[in-house]
């Protein structure tokens, strides 16, 4: 590290070096780091286990009127797996290039945001600022594998109720352009497995009504649907990927050996549907695909989330008004979209807590889950400046109106 490096950047790099990577994230070291950071900034600290080795850490800054619903600043601790052979530097080295690019898994998704929250609060506290509402900086586990052991459990615990959350910020996505993307809703995520059963036999024969024939029909039907959704997206400039349904074949499995026609084959799809899609009708359509493919074709769900909730992004929502006012004061151009993937915000919104996704990362290629993920230190530091304006704007919202989603 350079002696001239900003201390916030040094903390960011220290956090990145903690390998909270699936399938075996090291949450204990991360929680120790977060606890020490809370103590350094002068924030209350609590930790709650949602499942064995899965821990929520919360830093709290009590407001002048703690009876009001609080502001939540959420980030997840875990990161997705890496393939080191495809990285220019070791993926948990947090190595900084001469131009300030910091390479590490989690640099964009989303350890940057957790540190930016805390550093903005550090600055506010150092200046003697007091804010109306209590702020909870929340660090959660298990987001990258669906939140089943993380936020889904946490929202049912008394510890989450005690936070009295009124509004929450969560993650967004980097943008190569000048705008900052803000997400007010997200698509439902369905992981669907089609089981195709058919006649088995010897690999040297023409076996009729085989599992492979049915699998082929399912693939053709699904890919035709996919192509139509892609055409719809490409033909309408007003649409973003969050406005259409995406479908991708991710797993094919089955068979025992080369000369045996298998009795069953499986095709697994990752399907993401926007909030306007009637999920009951869409499930009926998937079952129609099964019938069209032939007898003994069925489906099951490995994940079936329902994310119909949309946070109002107009003057009816005082939180949104405050957020946009802060962005305007920063001359930050905002582009609102439906989040294309899945985040822990869906559990918050389902509990009636409005949550928007926002990561202050522009002029940066989108590299979440990709090889050679990086964030430039200038963009990182600018993010602290942005939260320095946004956090007090939200925490000083005086209106107690309950947002309806």
The DSSP symbol for 79 reads: B
Q: Which residues contact 108 (CB under 8 A, 6 or more apart)?
A: 174, 359, 361, 364, 366, 367, 368, 373, 374, 375
Residue 262's CB is within 10 A of a number of other CB atoms, namely: 20
9 vs 13, 78, 144, 249, 365, CA distance in Å? Answer: 6, 19, 24, 39, 20
**pLDDT at residue 297, rounded to an integer:** 98
Kindly list the domain boundaries of the chain, sorted by start residue.
Answer: 7-186+308-395, 188-304
Which residues of the chain fall below pLDDT 50? 1
Global pTM reads 0.91
Contact 190, 303 (CB under 8 A): yes
DSSP track, 268-303: EEEEEE-TTS-HHHHHHHHHHHHHHH-TTEEEEEEE
- What are the CB-based long-range contacts (under 8 Å, 24+) for 389-392? 389/326, 389/329, 389/330, 390/169, 390/323, 390/326, 390/327, 391/71, 391/73, 391/117, 391/120, 391/121, 391/124, 391/131, 391/135, 392/124, 392/129, 392/131
Main-chain phi, psi angles of 169, to 5 degrees: -100, 140
**pLDDT at residue 288, rounded to an integer:** 98
CA distance 78 to 58: 15
Contact 138, 56 (CB under 8 A): yes
Structure tokens at 343: 């985040």
Say how far residue 229 (Cα) sits from the centre of its chain.
Answer: 23
Class of the CATH-defined domain 188-304: alpha beta
CATH hierarchy code of domain 7-186+308-395? 3.40.630.10
Contact 320, 399 (CB under 8 A): no
Q: Which of 78, 142, 243, 377 is catalytic?
A: 78
**pLDDT at residue 342, rounded to an integer:** 87
Structure tokens at 292: 């069209």
CA distance 241 to 201: 43
Q: Which residues contact 344 (CB under 8 A, 6 or more apart)?
A: 74, 76, 140, 143, 147, 150, 151, 170
Of 13, 72, 32, give the one whose Cα is nearest residue 351: 72
399 belongs to the catalytic site: no
DSSP track, 297-349: EEEEEEEE---------STT-HHHHHHHHHHHHTT--EEEEEESS--THHHHH
Structure tokens at 391: 């956090």
Structure tokens at 37: 């950071």
Structure tokens at 121: 């609060």
**pLDDT at residue 1, rounded to an integer:** 46
CA distance 115 to 380: 9
Contact 123, 389 (CB under 8 A): no
Q: What is the three-class DSSP state of 99?
A: coil
78 belongs to the catalytic site: yes
Q: Which of 109, 142, 143, 170 is catalytic?
A: 143
CA distance 381 to 12: 10
């Amino acid at each position: 590290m350079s002696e001239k490096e900003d201390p916030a950047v040094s903390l960011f790099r220290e956090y990145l070096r903690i390998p909270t990577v699936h399938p075996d994230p090291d949450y204990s070291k991360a929680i120790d780091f977060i606890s020490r950071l809370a103590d350094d900034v002068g924030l209350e600290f609590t930790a709650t286990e949602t499942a064995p080795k899965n821990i929520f850490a919360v830093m709290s800054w009590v407001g002048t009127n703690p009876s009001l619903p609080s502001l939540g600043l959420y980030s997840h601790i875990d990161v997705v797996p890496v393939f080191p052979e495809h990285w220019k530097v070791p993926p948990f080295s947090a190595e900084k290039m001469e131009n300030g690019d910091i390479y590490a898994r989690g640099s964009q998704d989303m350890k940057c945001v957790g540190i930016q929250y805390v550093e903005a609060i550090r600055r506010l506290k150092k200046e003697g600022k007091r804010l109306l509402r209590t702020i909870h900086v929340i660090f959660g586990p298990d987001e990258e594998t669906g939140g089943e052991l993380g936020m889904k459990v946490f929202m049912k615990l008394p510890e989450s109720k005690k936070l009295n959350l009124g509004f929450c910020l969560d993650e967004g996505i980097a943008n190569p352009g000048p705008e900052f993307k803000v997400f007010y809703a997200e698509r439902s995520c369905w992981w669907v497995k089609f089981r195709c059963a058919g006649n088995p036999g010897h690999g040297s024969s023409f076996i009729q009504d085989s599992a492979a024939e049915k699998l082929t029909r399912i693939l053709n039907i699904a890919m035709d649907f996919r192509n139509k959704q892609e055409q719809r997206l490409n033909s309408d400039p007003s649409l973003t990927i969050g406005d259409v349904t995406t479908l991708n074949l991710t797993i094919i499995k089955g068979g025992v050996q080369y000369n045996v026609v298998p009795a069953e084959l499986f095709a697994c799809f990752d399907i993401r549907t926007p909030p306007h899609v009637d999920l009951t009708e869409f499930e009926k359509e998937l079952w129609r695909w099964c019938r069209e493919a032939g007898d003994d074709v069925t489906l099951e769900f490995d994940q079936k989330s329902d994310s119909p909730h949309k946070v109002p992004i107009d003057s009816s929502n005082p939180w949104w008004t405050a957020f946009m006012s802060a962005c305007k004061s920063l001359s930050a151009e905002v582009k609102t979209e439906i989040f294309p993937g899945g985040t822990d915000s869906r559990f918050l919104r389902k509990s009636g807590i409005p949550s928007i996704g926002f990561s202050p990362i522009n002029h940066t290629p989108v590299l979440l889950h990709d090889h050679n993920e990086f964030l430039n230190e200038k963009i990182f530091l600018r993010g602290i400046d942005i939260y320095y304006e946004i956090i007090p704007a939200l925490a000083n919202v005086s209106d107690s109106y309950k947002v309806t989603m």
